[in-house]
Structure 1
Amino acid sequence: MSNLTMSRRFRLATGSLAVAGTALVLASCSSGASDPGTSGDSGASGDEPVTVTVMYKSSEFTEDMIAAYEAEHPNVTIEFIEYDETRLNAMMTAGDPPDIVRSGPNSNLFAKGLATNLDEYIAASDVLTEEDLLPANDAWRYDGTTRGQGSYYGIIKDWSPDATIWQNEALFEGTGVEPLDTTEPISWDELLEKAIALKDSGVEYPLGLEWGWGITNLLQTMIVQQGGAVYNDDLSEATLETPEAERAIQWLIDYGKSGVGVTSLNPLPDGQDAPTFIAGDMAMTMDGYWFGGNLQADEATTVAETTTMAPAPTFGERVSPIFGGVGAYIPSGSDDPAAAWDVLEYFMGGEPAAERAQTGWGLPILESLWEELPSEQPYQEQAKEAALVEAEYVKPLPDSPYVQLSQWDQIVDAEITAGIKGEKDAAQVASSIQEQMNTLLAQGKDQLG
């Protein structure tokens, strides 16, 4: 369980950032995408020897998967490279990138032209079709300006509506606090009120937000739900001196001051909510569908019996964000993008994708694979149905090509912490974050050219 959970933690914390860092330093990379052709022309389907180089994590793209693919495609050799950002930088700079690269979606990658346009491959595919791809994969779309619309540049491996809330209903009993509705989203304000009431009733940890993994996504979600903007129109400046941003910041400050959950001022020793929730000491944790995988452990049997998953909270519009969206892309400098697509199609939509779905550690990006999700236990069936509804409200969060999420997280955490300590009010926090981010955005824009 711990290895799987930590793998997920890595994905949330770094998955969407890795290639962004790479792309920022490649000022002279080719921006032209390879001619996609059609998947029917793939060298993987012919007789000539083909080598497809895959840079991924071996815990995700396993030796067994490679062996199974090569058995079906005797002319293809998959050359596997363990994901390493330094090595990826060197390969990209040398003009000899891998054919498939693990990454999270980000505008910098797309703006640099480092990823192959997959539109024609998807149009010709019987496996990864536009009709079957869930809206979550829109995070890998880009129209030349905005992430979330336009052409496809990658495919998500698995995903989760990450602001959904798992609740141990047993901890609500005898408190006078009603558990969350499992079909209708609660407001952020009502959620905090419930958490405070649970705290007053003796629950040690009423609400976990996985604070240590970064809270920028939560801040941006709250702003977007109110109809507010995070950036100006050309994504070159942050716009946080607004009522929407200040309301979101105030909520995070109030959460920290209330003591209902973990912040940077009082972190959990494990660095994540799962052990505390499984021990029966946390009433609610804001984690996506994937978190249910923790409940399969023997030590979680009792808690699993009283656990359900509720929709992401809202400040108006129902937006259910994904914080990772990690998957893969085919670099525009790939030697054989058609053969690479064939391997990508197998990994994202073939037997490996079905097997991943069966584990319950994430949602498949293809709706047709949802029948593979585990449903033996009541919590699994309930979470599966709730996630399918939640998928309708998935929307990519704002993303500028000029900064990385890690830069946001560092600044947001420091400033919100100052607010919790009473050193600044919400308006001052908003102004400080905006000023610091605009400095970084200007630097990033100069680097991108």
Structure 2
Amino acid sequence: MRPHVGASLSRRRFLALSAAGTAAGAAALNGCALPVSTGVSGPGETVTAMVKSGEITPDDVKQAYNDLGIKIVLVKYDITKLIAMMTTGNPPDLVRGVGAIDAPYFAARDLMEDLDPYFARSSVLRPADLDPVNDLWRFDGRTQGKGPRHGMAKDFSQDNMYWYNTALFDRAGVETPPVTEPVTYEEWLEKAKSLTRRKSGQTTVFGGSYNGLMKSSLLASLTAAAGGNLFTDDYARVDFTSPEARKALAWYIEYCRTRVGPSAVQPDPNAWDGPTYQASRMAMSNSGYWLGGMINTDPKLAKVSRLAPAPIFAGGPRISPCQGGTGLWMTKKSRNKDAAWRVFEWFFGEGPAKARASGGWGIPTLKSLRPLMPAKEEYQKQVLKVQDAELEHFSVISFTPYASADALDALFNQIAPAAMNGHMSVDTLARRLDSAMNEQLARGKEQVG
């Protein structure tokens, strides 16, 4: 057990941890885990949840009070505010997070409660019912996907899958991709080039969007699809010069250079794929199943839309990861863990979870809730058939605990545009990314210890 650290932290540690959103790594906040209570939360208790707008709604707060007798106090998610609340000894009980990138980062800093004992005694969130995507929230001190559970995803998509509009394919005279077998990334890009339409120097139809949720997690997943690991075995360094990582990087830079889809050098005015795809100005979008929640609101669009498996690299393994897995984690220094866990159970396994599952905005993370996924219309049945087949290809792509994805993305966004514009070779880009990111990672490793 590590030595206990009181609520007050040194200025140096506070500044290091406060830099979490923009710099590599944060100082470790050490603290012994409190024993898991076997008590049952009672009415009139309060749970503070730090979330983004819409993740827990005011209606959810009312419903939680009606169902549980527990008052949820919402605090807007902000990394600086989170660290300030923790360092002053007044942490939120539950915090939103993106499992794919946040779980190793915060767990390595000893901020997350080990939830295994809670899951073991829960009749709502039974370990056998948990979808494997929840392994994104496991971390054993070295590797993501193993060890204790520190959180849970509220829903998920396999984010390297993509939607396509058959009407735009027909209009361009391009053969539609199969929905039973994956195309290669090379084939995907060729189709995107053929589907792109421009007029007077302006792009009127994007051939395809393949930007991922975060550039660092996208490149990690592309490297895995090429058969490698973006990080070294100890996750303390990146290596973009490895054959697999270079292949992934070269493909993404080619995507940007050809301007077939949105990127840092050709932003989508809508800022995300949804409105552009909905307006039939994007032929393919690498938004996984969750985008169906929007597509299904427009029956005309839904009938010409298809969900396809994640592409593969020629000669590479077939994998279909989740780059998100957004959910909640419990802070180790939460003062009301029993009530927080009861809210956790309710949010992930009861009313809100059932409503999310039936809305089509993500795959439920409890296997028992899958029958609630929309399957009334023929096009919905078709989507589910493709999605069900894809589930067997899910795997956890481990992320580094030594730097936040935001920090690594900031470096990528500073360095990569020159290559996207054709002013820097991929080999030079790889070396510069290694130099900048590994400096960040070294600082983070030093702070974590």
> TM class, shorter-chain normalised?
0.7 to 0.9
Cα 1:437–1:349 change in 2 (3 A) is same
- Does 2:53 align with 1:63? no
- Does 2:376 align with 1:376? yes
What residue identity is the alignment partner of 1:186? V
Work out the CA distance in 1 between the residues paired with 2:409 and 2:232: 19
1:225-236 equivalence runs, <5 A? 225-236=225-236
- Does 2:304 align with 1:306? yes
Alignment partner of 2:376: what SS?
Answer: coil
1:285-329 deviation per Cα after TM superposition (whole angstroms, max 9, x unaligned): 1111111122234xx442221101001111221221222211111
Work out the CA distance in 2 between the residues paired with 1:162 and 1:385: 17
What residue identity is the alignment partner of 2:131? L
* Residue in structure 2 matched with residue 96 of structure 1 by the alignment: 90
Work out the CA distance in 2 between the residues paired with 1:200 and 1:267: 16
* Residue in structure 2 matched with residue 425 of structure 1 by the alignment: 425
What residue identity is the alignment partner of 1:78? I
How much identity, in percent, do the aligned residues show? 37
Work out the CA distance in 1 between the residues paired with 2:111 and 2:24: 11
What residue identity is the alignment partner of 2:30? S
1:217-247 deviation per Cα after TM superposition (whole angstroms, max 9, x unaligned): 2221121122212122222111221111111
Work out the CA distance in 2 between the residues paired with 1:413 and 1:260: 19
- Does 2:339 align with 1:339? yes
Work out the CA distance in 2 between the residues paired with 1:182 and 1:369: 24
What residue identity is the alignment partner of 1:122? F
Q: Aligned match of 1:190 in 187, 190, 195?
A: 187
328-337 vs 417-426, which moves further: 417-426
Cα 1:55–1:255 change in 2 (3 A) is closer
Work out the CA distance in 2 between the residues paired with 1:175 and 1:439: 46
* Residue in structure 2 matched with residue 82 of structure 1 by the alignment: 76
Work out the CA distance in 1 between the residues paired with 2:350 and 2:20: 28
Alignment partner of 1:231: what SS?
Answer: coil
1:284-433 equivalence runs, <5 A? 284-297=284-297, 300-315=298-313, 316-433=316-433
Cα 1:381–1:233 change in 2 (3 A) is same
Tell me the CA shift for residue 141 of structure 1.
Answer: 0.3
Q: How many residues align?
A: 424
- Does 2:178 align with 1:181? yes
Cα 1:65–1:257 change in 2 (3 A) is closer
Could you tell me the TM-score, scaled by structure 2's length? 0.87
1:38-62 deviation per Cα after TM superposition (whole angstroms, max 9, x unaligned): 5xx2223xx7x53322222452212
* Residue in structure 1 matched with residue 205 of structure 2 by the alignment: 204
Tell me the CA shift for residue 448 of structure 1.
Answer: 2.2
* RMSD (Å) for aligned C-alpha atoms: 2.6
Alignment partner of 1:32: what SS?
Answer: coil
1:345-370 deviation per Cα after TM superposition (whole angstroms, max 9, x unaligned): 00111111101112211221111111
397-406 vs 53-62, which moves further: 53-62
Work out the CA distance in 1 between the residues paired with 2:257 and 2:136: 34
Alignment partner of 2:144: what SS?
Answer: coil
Could you tell me the TM-score, scaled by structure 1's length? 0.87
* Residue in structure 2 matched with residue 276 of structure 1 by the alignment: 276
- Asked whether the equivalents of residues 218 and 323 of structure 2 are also in contact (C-alpha less than 8 Å), the reply is no
Work out the CA distance in 2 between the residues paired with 1:399 and 1:133: 21
Work out the CA distance in 1 between the residues paired with 2:294 and 2:105: 33
- Does 2:130 align with 1:133? yes
* Residue in structure 2 matched with residue 3 of structure 1 by the alignment: none
Tell me the CA shift for residue 176 of structure 1.
Answer: 4.2
1:14-41 deviation per Cα after TM superposition (whole angstroms, max 9, x unaligned): xxx9995499886363332232245xx2
1:400-435 deviation per Cα after TM superposition (whole angstroms, max 9, x unaligned): 121111122233344442223222222111111111
What residue identity is the alignment partner of 1:410? A
Tell me the CA shift for residue 201 of structure 1.
Answer: 11
Work out the CA distance in 1 between the residues paired with 2:209 and 2:145: 28
* Residue in structure 2 matched with residue 13 of structure 1 by the alignment: none
1:103-182 equivalence runs, <5 A? 103-105=97-99, 106=102, 107-173=104-170, 175-182=172-179
Work out the CA distance in 1 between the residues paired with 2:425 and 2:116: 47
* Residue in structure 2 matched with residue 32 of structure 1 by the alignment: 32
* Residue in structure 2 matched with residue 266 of structure 1 by the alignment: 266
**Structure 1, unaligned runs of 5 or more:** 1-16
Work out the CA distance in 2 between the residues paired with 1:19 and 1:132: 37
Work out the CA distance in 2 between the residues paired with 1:42 and 1:332: 18
53-62 vs 311-320, which moves further: 53-62
